């Protein structure tokens, strides 16, 4: 059964779900997204990925600055939507909006709720060393990611997985999950279960201060920190290439055998001692340069044994 849907989302993560809903024949009557914002060196206004996708599908796009006034509510009501589907929209929905669609508002959240409610669930799951992450379809309430959950898909977190890779896999898994959830909702067969009151964690926004690498931690903890922040905003350290300490992003590492003073180079192949064990850097990014493999990076600079990162 085809439904009338208002879609609300902003980043790349939301685009596969919008595409899936259109592909399954639902009538997406409007897309709500964040307004174009300055980006790039020229600071030209850039439309969100959902805005771009909606234009390709010829779906009307709205970028309201608020949903809390009477005008915004009347516009939303005018679509006579069966359901609102929300994926990383970036704006709180007031109760009047939540109560408008006939079948309510459902959200795709990138965690295994109630763990990692909030703004940065994928990064926080990897940074914490969780064994798995996932996506969940939940009915929206006024609280932050507190609504009952209907369906989940899980993703194993390995030592090689970065947040960027997890993001892309979860976006694809989430699109299929939401399409199945909306189909079940249209048939009246989607059941929601309250979230557990235990195991709640909040995925607060990432701050610049916590991105600096602490090499005194165990190699596994540092690996989780680096991969959880890769590729954005990127875990960083400092290294002196001869003109004073320079910020260096570390994007991918692997655990190796080694021991030494934390932060010091153990060889000429970017093996770094940690509080316990060691890490070999596989991918990194110098300020003003593109990300590159460590082997390529070492063809242009020297980072010899005995030098320290900090």
The CA R_g of the chain, rounded to the nearest whole Å, is 22
Which pLDDT value is given to residue 212?
Answer: 98
- Examine the fold and report which residue of 202, 225, 240 is the final residue of a domain before the chain moves on: 202
Which pLDDT value is given to residue 1?
Answer: 80
Picking from 63, 203, 192, 96, the residue whose alpha carbon sits closest to that of residue 139 is: 192
227 lies in which domain range?
Answer: 209-297
Domain membership of residue 310 (yes or no) is no
Pair (12, 141) in one structural domain: yes
Show the low-confidence residues of the chain (pLDDT under 70): none
Q: pTM of the prediction? A: 0.95
Which pLDDT value is given to residue 40?
Answer: 73
Pair (152, 281) in one structural domain: no
Which pLDDT value is given to residue 99?
Answer: 97
- Examine the fold and report which residue of 202, 233, 254 is the final residue of a domain before the chain moves on: 202
Domain membership of residue 188 (yes or no) is yes
Which pLDDT value is given to residue 60?
Answer: 97
Pair (257, 189) in one structural domain: no
Which pLDDT value is given to residue 155?
Answer: 98
Q: Which residues contact 307 (CB under 8 A, 6 or more apart)?
A: 239, 240, 264, 265
Interval 234-262: pLDDT, tens: 999 999 988 889 999 999 999 999 999 99
Structural domain tally of the chain?
Answer: 2
CATH number of the domain enclosing 272: 3.10.25.10
Interval 55-83: pLDDT, tens: 999 999 999 999 999 999 999 999 999 99
Domain membership of residue 308 (yes or no) is no
Which pLDDT value is given to residue 187?
Answer: 94
Pair (190, 165) in one structural domain: yes
Domain membership of residue 303 (yes or no) is no
Pair (153, 250) in one structural domain: no
Pair (13, 54) in one structural domain: yes
């Amino acid at each position: 059964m085809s439904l009338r849907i208002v879609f609300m989302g902003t980043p790349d993560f939301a685009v596969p779900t919008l595409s899936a809903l259109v592909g399954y024949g639902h009538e997406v009557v409007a897309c709500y997204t964040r307004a174009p914002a300055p980006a790039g060196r020229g600071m030209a206004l850039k439309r969100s990925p959902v805005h771009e996708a909606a234009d390709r599908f010829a779906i009307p796009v709205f970028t309201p600055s608020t949903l809390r006034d009477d005008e915004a509510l009347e516009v939303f009501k005018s679509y006579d939507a069966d359901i609102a589907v929300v994926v990383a929209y970036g704006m709180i929905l007031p109760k009047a909006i939540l109560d408008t669609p006939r079948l309510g508002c459902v959200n795709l959240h990138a965690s295994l709720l109630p763990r990692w409610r909030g703004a940065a669930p994928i990064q926080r799951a990897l940074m914490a060393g969780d064994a798995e992450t996932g996506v969940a379809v939940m009915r929206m309430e006024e609280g932050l990611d507190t609504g009952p959950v209907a369906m989940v898909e899980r993703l194993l977190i390995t030592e090689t997985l970065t947040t960027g890779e997890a993001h892309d896999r979860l976006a694809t898994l989430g699109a299929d999950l939401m399409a199945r959830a909306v189909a079940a909702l249209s048939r009246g067969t989607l059941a929601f279960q309250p979230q557990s009151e235990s195991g709640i964690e909040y995925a607060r926004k990432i701050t610049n201060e916590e991105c600096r690498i602490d090499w005194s931690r165990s190699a596994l903890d540092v690996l989780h920190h680096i991969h959880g922040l890769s590729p954005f905003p990127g875990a960083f350290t400092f290294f002196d290439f001869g003109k004073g300490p320079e910020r260096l992003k570390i994007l991918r590492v692997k655990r190796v055998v080694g021991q030494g003073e934390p932060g010091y180079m153990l060889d000429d192949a970017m093996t770094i001692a940690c509080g316990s064990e060691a890490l070999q850097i596989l991918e990194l990014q110098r300020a003003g340069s593109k990300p590159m493999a460590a082997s390529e990076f070492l063809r242009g600079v020297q980072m010899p044994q005995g030098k320290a990162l900090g």
